[in-house]
Amino acid sequence: MPEDNVDKPNMATCTAPVNIAVIKYWGKRNEDLILPINSSLSVTLHQDQLKTTTTVASSRSFQEDRIWLNDKEEDISHPRLQSCLREIRRLARKRRSDGEPGVDMTALSHKVHICSVNNFPTAAGLASSAAGFACLVYTLARVFGVEGELSGIARQGSGSACRSMYGGFVQWIMGRREDGKDSLAQQVEPETHWPELRVLVLVASAERKPVGSTSGMQTSVQTSCLLKHRAESVVPGRMEEMIEAVRRKDFTTFAELTMKDSNQFHATCLDTYPPIFYLNNVSRQVIGLVHRYNRHYGETRVAYTFDAGPNAVIYTLQEHVAEFVQVVRHLFPPETNGGQFINGLPVNNAVLSEELKQAVSSEPIPKGISYIISTKAGPGPRVVDDPDQHLLGSDGFPKKSV
C-alpha cells in the first residue's frame, strides 16, 4: 500500500432490500443465536422503492467502532450489532488462516465506522431491521473481503434479516442444530421468476408504536399453546405448499396461504397472554375489503398480510392493481391536500363499476391510509460502485448531506 494511503479508510457502500413474509417467523428457540421455532418464507421487495444504504469504513486511525443510523449516532454496544461485527471478523480471520485470497489482512485489526440510511420513513413501520442488518452484514463482508454464505450472520442481527440476503422468493430453513449452523436463508426462485406479481404497501396512519417483535414473540413462546401447535403442526406443511405455489406461479394458492398464515400469526398474538394486538380498525377494514373484492369476482385476485404493525401488504397480479387501488381509494378517501397517495411503480387510473362499488362498499374511513407504496419483487443486496455515493467522507465521518 503506498505510504500516503496508509490512513485512508478502506470503504464500501452497499444497499439491501426489505422482505415481507408470506409464511411468518414468530418465536425463537434460542434468543442469542436467533434460532426460530419454524421455517418461514418471504418475498424480497424491490430496492427502487424500499432499501437501506450502508457505508462501512475501516482505518487504523479509528479509535473505536462507531455507528450512525438515519443521521443519529447510536450505541454500537448493542448485542446484536456486536454479534454481527464479531462474526464477520471471525469469518475474515478464518478465511485468512485458510489462505484464501482477497481477505484484507491489515483491516482485520482496524476499527470500523458505519453509516446507514433508509430511503423510506422509519415511521412508516416497515420492517426496517431486516434491510438494516442485511445491509450491515453485506457491507462489512465487503470491507473485510469475506464472500459466500452470510445469511447465518445477518440472522444474528435480526431473524428476518437473513431472508433479505437474497432476492426474489426466499425461505429461511429453521435448522435443527444447537449451534444454529443449519439455520440459513435460501433462494427458492429469483425475482425474475414471477414478473406479474405486484406488491402494495398500504401505510396505515398508526397512532402509537406497537409491541416490538422481539419481545412480542418472546411472550408468545412463553404463553401461547396455539403458537406451539402452529410451529409443530401447521407451518411444515404450509412451507411445502407455499414453495410449490411459488414454483408453479399459482396465485390462488399463494394468496390463500398468505392470508391464512397472516391470520394465524395474529391469532397467536391474541392467544399470547397478555394479548398483543397489531391489527387496528383500518387493518380489519382492509381484510374485509379484500374478501369482499375476491368474493365479487368469485376468485382470489388479492391477498393481504400483516406483520407486527397495522400496515397491510397486498399481493396481487399486475392486471388487478389499478382497479384494486381505486377500490382502496374509494373506501379510504385520501387527504386531498396531503402528499402523493401512490408512490413507487406507476398505477393507472381505473373506473369502478356500480356493481363493484356496491359489492365492496362499507362506511368510508377518510385518511385511514396515509399512502400506498407500489412495488414488486426485487434483487438481493448490491454493491454501490460510485464513490460519490459513500455516506462517509474520506475522513471516515458522515458527510454533511447524510
DSSP 46: P
For residue 10, give the H/E element and its range: strand 10-17
d(CA 170, CA 119): 22
The closest residue (CB) to ligand DP6 is 159
Residue 58 half-sphere exposure toward CB, CA atoms < 13 A: 18
The three cell numbers of residue 226 are 396455539
Q: Are 199 and 321 a contacting pair, CB within 8 Å? A: no
Q: Which is nearer to ligand DP6, 96 or 155 (CB)?
A: 155
All residues at 6 or more sequence positions from 63 whose CB lies less than 8 Å from its CB, including other chains: 111
d(CA 33, CA 40): 17
Nearest distance from residue 161's CB to ligand DP6, in Å?
Answer: 6
Which of these, 243, 263, 241, 240, lies nearest to 194 by C-alpha position?
A: 243
Tell me which residues touch ligand DP6 (CB under 6 A).
Answer: 21, 24-26, 34, 40, 127, 129, 158-160, 213-214, 307-308
Collapsing DSSP to helix, strand or coil, 251 comes out as: helix
The three cell numbers of residue 172 are 429461511
Nearest distance from residue 176's CB to ligand DP6, in Å?
Answer: 18
Nearest distance from residue 367's CB to ligand DP6, in Å?
Answer: 25
Q: Which is nearer to ligand DP6, 58 or 375 (CB)?
A: 375
Nearest distance from residue 158's CB to ligand DP6, in Å?
Answer: 3
User: Beta 72-74 vs 28-30: how paired, if at all?
Assistant: unpaired
Q: Which is nearer to ligand DP6, 34 or 321 (CB)?
A: 34
d(CA 158, CA 33): 10
Residue with cell 394468496: 255
Angle at 245 between CA 221 and CA 191, to 5 degrees: 90
Q: Which is nearer to ligand DP6, 92 or 154 (CB)?
A: 154
| C-alpha dihedral sign at 51, 331, 360, 125 | positive
Q: Which is nearer to ligand DP6, 49 or 213 (CB)?
A: 213
Nearest distance from residue 154's CB to ligand DP6, in Å?
Answer: 10
Q: Which is nearer to ligand DP6, 13 or 268 (CB)?
A: 268
Nearest distance from residue 21's CB to ligand DP6, in Å?
Answer: 3
DSSP 340: -
Q: Which is nearer to ligand DP6, 25 or 144 (CB)?
A: 25
What are the angstrom distances between the C-alpha of 155 and each of 77, 97, 224, 345, 363?
A: 18, 25, 24, 30, 43
d(CA 333, CA 330): 6
Q: Are 80 and 134 a contacting pair, CB within 8 Å? A: no
Q: Which is nearer to ligand DP6, 160 or 264 (CB)?
A: 160
Nearest distance from residue 336's CB to ligand DP6, in Å?
Answer: 33
Nearest distance from residue 34's CB to ligand DP6, in Å?
Answer: 5
Q: Which is nearer to ligand DP6, 11 or 37 (CB)?
A: 37
Nearest distance from residue 243's CB to ligand DP6, in Å?
Answer: 15
